Structure 1
Amino acid sequence: MVRAWVQVCVNGTRGGADGAAVPLSPEAIAGSAAEAVAAGAADVHVHPKTPCGRDTLSPRVLAVTLEAIRARVPGSVPVGVTTGAWAEPDPAARVARVRSWSALPDHASVNWHEPGAERVAAALMERGVGVEAGVWSGTDGAARFLRSPLGPKVLRVLAEVTDTGPASAEHSARALLSDLGEAHGRPVLLHGEDGGVWPVLRLAGRLGLATRVGLEDTLLLPDGRRAASNAELVAAALSWGTSARRGGP
């Protein structure tokens, strides 16, 4: 298994109601990320949180979170953050937040179906931050991305399958990949959500694509048990990916 095959998505929009395993504070996020990297993750994606657990693009919170992670995670491991519209609904305010960051992540995800996506992506690129183009199934994100002059400049495409049905997620994933076509020649990271996580992850392994896993995307292991940590999910993902590439069940 190539180490760079999996990104860990540490917490996402989840909160305290999702269980104690979901890290919310900078220290908890950093510790969970470090454990996941030790388990084999080669890239980190986090959602910095306010003290009340809300996603934020605040420069102060971002700086504290990045500092905590980089104190625990090897410097060779890239660290990325969200720029989801739920954290800052107004596109102009989202761009202003990016321009106000005092500490910079290695990359940031931009969901291409959201209003203002290209403006946010351009602001990130101006600051030297890599852009992960989030293209969700069930949206017009793929069409928008393929029309975008910024498409060839992104770091990678995050192909996110929003179909959570265990039996239908693989079909949705294949349709999304078809919609993306050559994806401007950029690398594609394929992943699913909740009930679709493991079928989509297995497909990514068969296709030789990068993928991601973590408590943002699922709280459950492949056998349905609740995951105790991001590290446990990463270890399971690496095992499943190896099996898929070898033609395992």
Structure 2
Amino acid sequence: MLQVCLNGARSRAQCFHLPVTPAELAAAAREAVAAGAEDIHLHPKDRDGRDTLEATAVAAAVGAVRAVVPGIPVGVTTGAWATADPRARAAQVRAWTVLPDHASVNWHEDGAALVSAVLLDRGIGIEAGIYSGTPAAQRFLAWPDAYRALRVLAEITGTAQGDALHAADGLLGALAPVAAPILLHGEDATAWPVLRHAVSRRLATRIGLEDVLHLPDGSSVSSNADLVRKARAIIHGAVRDMP
């Protein structure tokens, strides 16, 4: 499965082409799905372009995207950078009026179990975000409801390019007891090497402007669709060569 991560916590200052408004997210989602994306992850933004978990922003972003790509699962973040207090974050999730298909929960953040419990109660799938170099894997595996996660996002973060694959294998080893499907991805310099590694391990992966702003050759991109097309080419070539 190839997921597209449309914008992340980035700003327009980092990427001029970043989709921020509901209309921009919808257009980016439509193009990415046409290019081969099978699942969508996005960060709703407030009027100042900052990540928010407020119900009106979530409803606008999710509703706009669903309208143009019916049948494609749409997920959002619950990152603590949007709302630091775990109880307030959980209250915001309880207040959502338009429910995404899934939401990511970062298990190195305080309140992950609380936010996850609210998501489960509301029937929203959980993408358990497990960052490399953190105690997230152990925390997630100790959670009694870990088996109910939709998938695990094995995220290689803060790692030099030369160490990325070693870090990925270490994280996958730590996640060996997990029953849920694993989506493996990197960020910035590690995004493309880790994507290739995920394909070689027959794992789901993702690509998009949240994770990387350039193609494997270092050239810049102007859209999520550019990244998805390149990822699809890599996936197709690797699958063709697999025994």
Match of 2:136 in 1: 141
Which of 109, 118, 139 lines up with 2:113 in the alignment? 118
Structure 1 unaligned spans of 5+:
none
Which of 24, 34, 51 lines up with 1:55 in the alignment? 51
Distance 1:19 1:146 in 2: 36
- TM-superposed deviation, 1:18: 1.6
Structure 2 unaligned spans of 5+:
none
Match of 2:23 in 1: 27
Match of 1:222 in 2: 216
2:2 matches 1:17 = no
What is the correspondence of 1:1-249 to structure 2 with a 5 Å cutoff? 5-73=1-69, 75-183=70-178, 185-247=179-241
Q: Which amino acid aligns with 2:84?
A: P
Distance 1:246 1:104 in 2: 38
**Using a 3 Å threshold, how does the CA distance of structure 1 residues 247 and 182 change in structure 2: closer, same or farther?**
farther
Identity of aligned residues (%): 53
Distance 1:244 1:88 in 2: 40
Q: Which amino acid aligns with 1:213?
A: I
- TM-superposed deviation, 1:20: 2.1
Distance 1:182 1:76 in 2: 31
Aligned residue pair count: 242
- TM-superposed deviation, 1:70: 1.3
Q: Which amino acid aligns with 1:34?
A: R
- TM-superposed deviation, 1:164: 4.0
Distance 1:138 1:230 in 2: 28
Cα deviations by residue, 1:150-194 (Å, 9 ceiling, x for unpaired): 1100100000000442221111111100111131x1100000010
Helix, strand or coil for the counterpart of 1:149?
coil
Distance 1:203 1:129 in 2: 29
Q: Which amino acid aligns with 1:91?
A: P
- TM-superposed deviation, 1:72: 1.2
- TM-superposed deviation, 1:246: 3.9
Distance 2:239 2:197 in 1: 9
Alignment TM-score, normalising by the size of structure 1: 0.95
- TM-superposed deviation, 1:76: 1.4
Distance 1:53 1:86 in 2: 13
